[in-house]
A and B are shown apart, each in its own frame.
Chain A
Amino acid sequence: MSERIFKEDKEAKKEDRIRTLRRGEEIAHFNMLNLSFDPWVGDMDEWRRRYVLHPDFDFTENVVIVEENGEWAGGGTAWFREALLKNNKKIMVYSAGDLYVHPDHRGKGIYSTAMRSLNQLGQKKGAALGFTFVSIYRLPVIALPKYGFVGMFYPKTHVVVINPEKFFQFLISRAKKAYFPEKFSGIMLKLTVSFNTPTGKREITEVFKLEKAQFLEVKNGSYKKHMDLTVKAEVGAFLRIVGAFYLGKRHLLLSVLAALLKGHLRIRFSVKFLKLFLGL
């Protein structure tokens, strides 16, 4: 199949060129995904599963690449499927995914160009609807409404923990990537999470210090007994509160209140923390 050049995107900048992936660029595309997502979700086998083995999928048609001044700057992918309506009749739908921008080209409208090109491709191939599945923690949930996407379904994630120690460390490693307001620097936090595992109940406690907007673990015994914030939560409540944090203040407040009322969360804080929290 020959390369497809899109010329209809009137909003694309003059120096942007939109094309599709060429044969021979498979590894370069995989590397680009890894570089942009840091890292991408899978290995080369997973890439092959999505981009080569997937039925009715041709990467020379469905993988859009945006070039800026001749450099590969970003892109995205459209997977097409047939869907059944309630009367058992078919429509074509498309699913947008793997939207990425090379770190050197961020903030230049590459994401917009890629997304518009994917929608254009979707319409050209006869899709009546477009779908995308995104995390509420990431940027696309804020960006996609600009391209006609509406939040429609909010599937719950259900988790049962088998190995609490490793799961706790996993949560902490994720939390360390988050940014906390500088004003909380120096705050000592004691976090206890309880787990209801298939083999019984477990509780894990760890102490952290917030420094330069980052969470830092404090080794046992090397911290003062005084804590500015002590949080004891059941893992489900903890995960719900973390999720609500990304959904906005109202959700956060409601999830904290619900967890407190159900007895799934206990919080103790110092006057110093309260003053910082209220900005006094």
Chain B
Amino acid sequence: MIDEIINLRNTIHQGDFRLILTPEHWNISYVPEGLEKSNLAIVRSKDGRLRGYAAYYLVHFDHIQAYDIREICAEDRETQAQLIDQIVDKSVKDNVDFVFAKWFEDADKNVLAKRGFSSFSEAVIMVALFNPKELLSTLSEEIENGEVLKLLIKGFDPIFVKVGEKGIMVVNEEKPNLKVSTDSKTFLKLFFNRTSFPKEFFRKKVTTSDILNWQTANRFFKLIKQDKWHIPMGDWV
């Protein structure tokens, strides 16, 4: 069962920035009371294939209790709706006082709103940059042709990156075609696709040594950005 769950998550969130989920992490973070006793909602297709799951457990606040949905992972909206219905039905049956979930995708709002959920802001995920060279090296691949960009992030050593048409490669110090300067906050926002290079360029949060060559910088940030992100609540300790 755990292998099925991990496989489904890896299939659905292939290419998303995410933490690696191992069976050990699953057991501790999602079903700490044991899989057999846990509140795990699942939806299977007629042939028995897992189409979605939701892990949730009982939490207490002062004198009231709630089901905290730690993750919903479903291959389509219909499956997602079925999982939410299962949880709400069980909440009414078990007489818990409320059900809550914290997650990211606005597209899920409609599925939740149709089932009486209200949405509001009360949390923020904050990120700090410690090693941009390690990040870029992990994204590196062998490329032959490209322009060399010297990336200057405030507070870090310069990083030299060859920017090709379809990939980047971190290289040893060499004469750059272009220097790009920014701060770690802007770099992180570009890396996690929370903003765009043109926007930050016009706001002067990113500057280039050669304004005519800004397309190379634009391509560099496009190539490194993580398009989507999936870190459900259960992955947080």
Contact = CB atoms under 8 A, between A and B. Distances in A.
A9 interface: no
Contacts of A131: 125-128, 231
B202 interface: no
Contact of B28 (A53, A240, A247): A53
Contacts of B104: 153, 155-156
Given A85-B17, A162-B96, A167-B97, A155 B112 contact: no
A159 B138 contact: no
Contacts of B16: 86
A173 interface: yes
A273 B79 CA distance: 50
Contact of A150 (B101, B138, B139, B184): B184
Given A85-B138, A128-B130, A166-B64, A153 B124 contact: yes
B101 A158 contact: yes
A193 B188 CA distance: 40
* From A153, A170, A244, residue with most partner B Cβ within 10 Å: A153
Contact of A157 (B123, B134, B141): B123
Question: Could you say which interface size class chain B belongs to?
Answer: 35 or more
Interface string A87-100: 11111010101000
* From B18, B125, B192, residue with most partner A Cβ within 10 Å: B125
Interface string B144-188: 000000000000000000000000000000000000000011001
A148 B96 contact: no
* From B101, B115, B122, B227, residue with most partner A Cβ within 10 Å: B122
A198 B235 CA distance: 29
Interface stretch (A75-83, A101-109, A216-224): A75-83
Contacts of A150: 126-128, 184-185, 188-189
Interface string A175-192: 000000000000000000
A54 B237 contact: yes
Interface residues of A, number: 75
A277 interface: no
Nearest to B230: A84
B228 to A, nearest CB: 8
A23 B37 CA distance: 31
23 contacts: A55-B24, A85-B17, A85-B139, A91-B134, A91-B135, A119-B128, A119-B130, A128-B131, A151-B125, A152-B125, A153-B124, A156-B104, A157-B100, A157-B102, A157-B120, A160-B91, A162-B91, A166-B63, A166-B64, A170-B61, A198-B88, A240-B118, A244-B121
Interface of B: 14-20, 22, 24-25, 28, 32, 61-64, 88-89, 91-92, 95-104, 106, 109, 112, 115-132, 134-135, 138-139, 141, 184-185, 188-189, 192, 194, 226-227, 229, 231, 235-237
